[in-house]
Amino acid sequence: MPSVIVVGGGLAGLSATAALAEAGFAVDLYEARGFLGGRATSYPLSPADENSEVIDNCQHVLLRCCVNLLDFYGRLGVRDRVRFSGDFYFVEPGGRVSTLRRGRLPAPLHFSGSFLGLRFLNAADKLAIARGLLAIRREHSRRRDLDRISMLEWLREKRQTPGAIDRFWRQVLVSAVNEELDRMAAAHGFQVFWVGFLARSDSYEMGVPAVPLADLYSAEVWRPFPRVSIHLRCPVESVDGSGGVKLMDGAARRADFYIVCVPPERLAAVAPGLEIDTSWVEHSPITGIHLWLDRPITALPHATLLDRTVQWMFNKSGGRYVQLVISASRALNSMPKGDVIAMALRELAEFFPTAREARLERSHVVKELRATFSALPGLEPLRPGPVTKAGNVFLAGDWTRSGWPATMEGAVRSGYIAAEAVSRAAGKPEKLLIK
């Protein structure tokens, strides 16, 4: 049985591990931290208290078009722990709610009815958006410069109105790609709208895990994988195709193949011999704000909030515990956490009138400064593939060439792509990636 060592227990490493184990490989996974999931994880709010509430580092969502992520959840038997919703609620300051949901018509006309009813866009905005969506449909497979221009350049080329740009394109894309429109390659914006909104009528449905993220990859879900050994709190010091893996405690481990799934800023330290260029990587931050209030402030399960700093609200517990998300949150990087909370409460009161009287019981702010790489134009050719100059060392991670921006789906795609490369090198090729 060929053996594989996977370094890094984020979604890239976990998905490669599950897929290779099912294909008959013996897999040892080494993770530096005491839990799995990397950037998509959860942890106790007060680690010293064994009854502490467990929170996600930040709300993570997926769309139904994340087919590889769903396939991976299926391998782990946790697919039913994700709840899908077909309703997108847009809330304006003042509290007016508009809902985008599919109707009876087939794709790409499935949104026609609810789209026409969106009250936060005027007729000129809607006309512009309809033209823009038709242009995406026409150009997505033909146009060759989409990785070289920004989404904002493309939107201006298509004469989108300010209202359409600010309240529709920006509102959807900044959260989906974690970057501003003027810094985002148009290719990523196209992909979100083509794969997520136009290609199939159900692909836009939003999935929210019903359990803390770390429960999706807990020890229990790995029990049916006898060929997998997971080593937590085992940071790898170095990986070298001929010398194997050296752990921080000095121990050495060997396998037939290695997959390095660490973030780009860790790669040069862990695998210097691979000489992979990561100098192109710039990071884009995400801020998650957890607020526990003394009364319910909304009955909506989730909502995207227009025209303010906070972009998304997720209702975690009857409207009393809400998680707020701000993508591409550079403006908050140096803001004291107390000021971030005050801003969030001020904005919530504009969207949800009950929040004006609500008393804050607890709060927690997570600023992930290196949430994802910045999806700038011109990067696609620089993202490395799975194969490295060391023939038996492979690479995965959301920043590698997965065909997707840095997302959970992108990470799983990269894990499957690396696992396919390992299986080819072992002479038993597997087809894992769902295109």
Ligand X SMILES: Cc1cc2nc3c(=O)[nH]c(=O)nc-3n(C[C@H](O)[C@H](O)[C@H](O)COP(=O)(O)OP(=O)(O)OC[C@H]3O[C@@H](n4cnc5c(N)ncnc54)[C@H](O)[C@@H]3O)c2cc1C
| Three-class secondary structure of residue 270 per DSSP | helix
Q: Which residues, at least 6 apart from 176, have a Cβ–Cβ distance to it below 8 Å?
A: 192, 196, 405, 407
Task: Give the integer Cα–Cα distance in Å for 143 and 141.
Answer: 6
Is 375 in contact with 303 (CB distance < 8 Å)? Answer: no
Neighbours of 2 (CB within 10 A): 18
Contact with ligand X (CB under 6 A) among 397, 416, 420, 433: 397
Contact with ligand X (CB under 6 A) among 4, 40, 181, 310: 40
Distance of closest approach, residue 21 Cβ to ligand X, in angstroms: 17
Distance of closest approach, residue 291 Cβ to ligand X, in angstroms: 16
Residue 372, H or E segment: strand 360-373
Strand blocks (E) in 79-164: 82-85, 88-91, 97-100
Distance of CA 179 to the CA centre of its chain: 12
Considering beta carbons, is residue 132 or 288 the nearer one to ligand X?
Answer: 288
Task: Give the integer Cα–Cα distance in Å for 240 and 313.
Answer: 44
Please choose, out of 31-39, 78-86, 101-109, 192-200, the segment that lies near ligand X by the rule CB under 6 A: 31-39
For every residue of 39-70, DSSP letters joined together read TS-EEESSTT-TTPPEEESS---EETT-HHHH
Residue 330 engages ligand X in binding (rule: CB under 6 A)? no
Restricted to residues 80-139, the positions that interact with ligand X (CB under 6 A) are none
Restricted to residues 232-271, the positions that interact with ligand X (CB under 6 A) are 235-236, 261-263, 266, 270
Strand blocks (E) in 210-358: 228-231, 236-240, 244-247, 252-253, 257-260, 283-293, 302-305, 312-317, 321-327
Please choose, out of 25-33, 133-141, 143-151, 182-190, the segment that lies near ligand X by the rule CB under 6 A: 25-33
Considering beta carbons, is residue 7 or 293 the nearer one to ligand X?
Answer: 7
Restricted to residues 273-312, the positions that interact with ligand X (CB under 6 A) are 286, 288
Q: Would you give the end-to-end CA distance of the chain in angstroms?
A: 28
Number of residues that bind ligand X (CB under 6 A): 39
Contact with ligand X (CB under 6 A) among 198, 406, 422, 432: 406
Considering beta carbons, is residue 35 or 131 the nearer one to ligand X?
Answer: 35
Please choose, out of 102-110, 147-155, 380-388, 408-416, the segment that lies near ligand X by the rule CB under 6 A: 408-416
Considering beta carbons, is residue 105 or 369 the nearer one to ligand X?
Answer: 369
Distance of closest approach, residue 57 Cβ to ligand X, in angstroms: 6
Contact with ligand X (CB under 6 A) among 128, 165, 310, 411: 411
SS3 content of the chain, % helix, strand, coil (to 5): 35, 25, 45
Considering beta carbons, is residue 86 or 296 the nearer one to ligand X?
Answer: 86
Is 68 in contact with 433 (CB distance < 8 Å)? Answer: yes
Token pair 């590889």 in the structure block, residue: 68
Contact with ligand X (CB under 6 A) among 298, 329, 407, 423: 407
**Binding characters for ligand X, 338-377, by CB under 6 A (x = yes):** ------------------------------x--xx-----
Restricted to residues 45-64, the positions that interact with ligand X (CB under 6 A) are 57-58, 60-62
> 121: closest CA among 308, 324, 307?
307
Distance of closest approach, residue 144 Cβ to ligand X, in angstroms: 27
Chain residues that interact with ligand X, rule: CB under 6 A: 7-13, 30-33, 38-40, 57-58, 60-62, 235-236, 261-263, 266, 270, 286, 288, 368, 371-372, 397-398, 406-411
